[in-house]
Structure 1
């Protein structure tokens, strides 16, 4: 028989099944409401009611009512204090927060980059051919798949950070169409992060870095909105590694349960149709610029993928990102005929190592992670060339670049010659157009475009 037993203060206790009482007076089958769960945690920790009440900043009488069935709504600070006192594990803390604050469990900050487990790496790799990456709560890139490395190789560089790249580099600015709109959303994301972990030194450094850009500082000082993420946003981007083609991207953001502070981002993309009014999902163009992550949006099925996506789909997913214990082990993945590229490696960064694999006709791109291991991705020679070709090159750079270009061409000499002729023709046409535009801009005194190192006004 089930009854409600009043406590001495007149409050109703949780419903219990009296028929289940044992000879010892203990009750089985008690309804496990929050109060009962709290009582079990407290007793498991060997803590009495008065210390628990003090941790919460409430009276013992009020605390007793909560364990008896009253409905509390503790603040985040109270939850943290109670979790520390009762030594709750992650699942218990999660339940405590969900009941009282209504939010997911925030992971405690870690020293350096968190370790990405093999199951999560497998999930990232299996998103092929969609470019996919995992970033921490400050947008530092922790892991990525083959497509991400091929299409956006900046993600493979040491200390790669999405927002720093987007807001402070010329490549980031050239990639996003309507860059100011994107910059505004990124600033709102940074401001949201301040509300959750504003004391984080890494976040503070990121904010100071991006505010060195006058445009970003102006946005920061003139826009006070918040946004958590860019899930479902559809936007146009021009991609250097795809010969500066414009594509339309849909970003999908998820939070892995095992790393709830990290963002799991998958990008699906289609050829831009040139419609300035509607995006690829049929919605108003750039509607995301005025929305928050809470806005309701209609999502349709993704459209057909780019031919580049078809090429990546045909690749063996086992060529996705690997891990090596040392630089020597990473270089060995290029095979016995591997050719080190030290000069180009230095252009990529101090913790990067490029090794050309002639037999596989690709490049082993290795980056030393904070854990001491080396993250390894196999990329095409064209990806490396697209990443560094605008740097001033010495003779050593040019020697290594020549090797890259050769192994980026077809293996058969006749096919390689045909491809070279095609590329030269394309570049000649491009240079001819650039000269014509230069002449129009410079005026009647035009004689010839400047070669590298010349003053463009000299003739």
Structure 2
């Protein structure tokens, strides 16, 4: 390569020429953005003055750009140049990325179609829960593990931030919920800076601000956060019997859908010391809560600490979600002897169809994702049981729940009876403890156990 610096006295005539040299020593065409611009101009059959006029700059300035000067056009200039040169979509992307540093692609309106390649990648993350959301955190797709651990993703209009900030399940899931809520609010504020006129985003913000706690955070905190990539946090999961696990969140932006988030959650069992100051990656626990930017953190211990969770069952289950044409074909996935669960379907989520499969010992959960497209996920009975609202049930729902509960127990009668005894003992002890706490809460303040009594147990 040969580089030649050239200047003249004018303000717009500082440039740098970069030439490609052929093996025979003869200089070839200019390289870099200037060469790319020159090639586009010639392909369009235009002369330099015409192109310079479209950009609103002098011919001398434009000439120096083709010779190697490095400009930074505005978005308006990029749009004008793309129009006059007749650039295609990829060329427009290259032009805007060089000058503005962002994509020209306009986010799709309405529900976006998820490419099969992305669904394949999602299924390949098993057993790590994985989902794809749009720029407003609406869930577009998810894998088997995500559906089993957090079946709310299968509900109509499922939205991560709306679930986290407005539902009792979301609040109970996150440890240090207020810290998580603060980060979610900061993410919403960041979204306002990029597409604040989006009606769907405005509706989401309006919904979450109905929560007084969220409204207080909104009024008292004005920081911005783009995403939660690399965050490590504790979560209590209903479908795991309210067991606490530690989760590492990984966020990527697929090139084919750059305005969407591809999120993988690697998780491990939480350590016994729940008050540990170190997270699963060896970092300071909840350090992300005070971040107002997204710095790169080296995680030397990541591969050592992040292990595959116990989601890989001994039973060989299919990891890919199915998409069929109608609800009948979805129910057929339960196999011979499938039992419809219409009452529980209505209770668990609107617009879902549950079918019990006695032979496969699971439940086929089907959701109409688009006209003529029913997404099918096979989940464990425990996943559905965890979603059934607590309280008195009508006879039909109770009968279905009884069948579901029996299927969740071991198959052999003796093993099932033994498991029931174990569960009844655990539930009895839990109820006794709750009644004791209830009695203590009804006592005068000076007779209640203080924080020091709880601390002494640690």
Q: TM-score, normalised by structure 2?
A: 0.86
Contact map agreement 2:3 2:16 (CA 8 A) in 1: no
1:178 deviates by: 1.0
Distance 1:19 1:402 in 2: 79
Counterpart of 1:284?
284
Distance 1:35 1:305 in 2: 47
Superposition map of 1:339-378 within 5 A: 339-370=339-370, 372-378=372-378
- Could you report, residue by residue, the CA deviation over 1:402-452 in whole angstroms, capped at 9, with x for unpaired residues? 1211211222222222222222222111112122222222349xxxxxxxx
In the other structure, the counterpart of 1:435 is 435
For structure 2, the 5+ residue unaligned runs are: 445-458
1:7: Cα distance to partner? 12
CA distance in 2, matches of 1:18, 1:382: 68
CA distance in 1, matches of 2:327, 2:55: 51
In 1, the alpha carbon distance for the partners of 2:343 and 2:47 equals 66
SS class of match (1:251): strand
Task: Please give the alpha-carbon distance, in whole angstroms, between the structure 1 residues aligned to 2:404 and 2:184.
Answer: 36
Report SS of the residue matched to 2:224: coil
The residue that corresponds to 2:323 in the other structure is 323
Structure 1-normalised TM-score?
A: 0.86
Name the counterpart of 1:211.
209
Task: Report the Cα offset of residue 363 of structure 1.
Answer: 0.6
Alignment partner, residue 124 of structure 1 = 122
Structure 1 counterpart of 2:390: 390
Query: Which one of the candidate residues 172, 177, 186 is aligned to 2:170?
Result: 172
Change (3 A) 1:51 1:313: farther
Question: Distance between the aligned counterparts of 2:130 and 2:222, measured in 1?
Answer: 30
CA distance in 1, matches of 2:398, 2:252: 42
Report how far residue 311 of structure 1 moved: 4.2
Provide, for residues 173-209 of structure 1, a one-character-per-residue CA deviation record: whole Å limited to 9, x for no partner.
1111111111111111111112222222211111111
C-alpha distance after superposition, 1:373-409 (max 9, x if no partner): 1111100011000012426522221121112112112
Q: For residue 82 of structure 1, what is the aligned residue in structure 2? A: 81
Sort the Cα spacing of 1:47 and 1:329 in 2 relative to 1 into closer, same or farther, 3 A: farther
Alignment correspondent of 2:379: 379
Structure 1: gaps (5+ residues): 22-26, 445-459
CA distance, structure 2, for counterparts of residue 301 and residue 316 of structure 1: 28
**CA shift at 1:336, angstroms?**
2.6
Matches within 5 A, 1:48-447: 52-53=51-52, 55-103=54-102, 105=103, 107-273=105-271, 274=273, 275-299=275-299, 300-303=301-304, 309-312=309-312, 314-316=314-316, 318-370=318-370, 372-390=372-390, 393-443=393-443
Deviation at 1:74, TM superposition (A): 1.7
Residues in 2 aligned to 1:428 and 1:195: alpha-carbon distance in whole angstroms:
53
Could you say if the C-alpha distance between residues 5 and 72 of structure 1 is closer, same or farther in structure 2, counting changes exceeding 3 Å? Answer: closer
Greater displacement, 136-145 / 273-282: 273-282
Structure-2 residue corresponding to 1:451: none
The answer (yes or no) to whether the contact 2:30–2:68 under 8 Å persists in 1 is no
| Residues 112, 370 of structure 1: 8 Å contact kept | no
Q: Distance in 2 between matches of 1:371 and 1:32?
A: 50
Q: Deviations over 1:46-66 (max 9, x none)?
A: 556566445544445533432
Give me the whole-angstrom Cα distance separating, in 1, the residues matched to 2:44 and 2:394. Answer: 66
Q: How many correspondences in the alignment?
A: 437
**Structure 2 CA distance for aligned equivalents of residues 56 and 117 of structure 1:** 37
The 10-residue stretch of structure 1 (2-11 or 194-203) with the greater mean CA deviation from structure 2: 2-11
Question: Bigger shift: 44-53 or 252-261?
Answer: 44-53
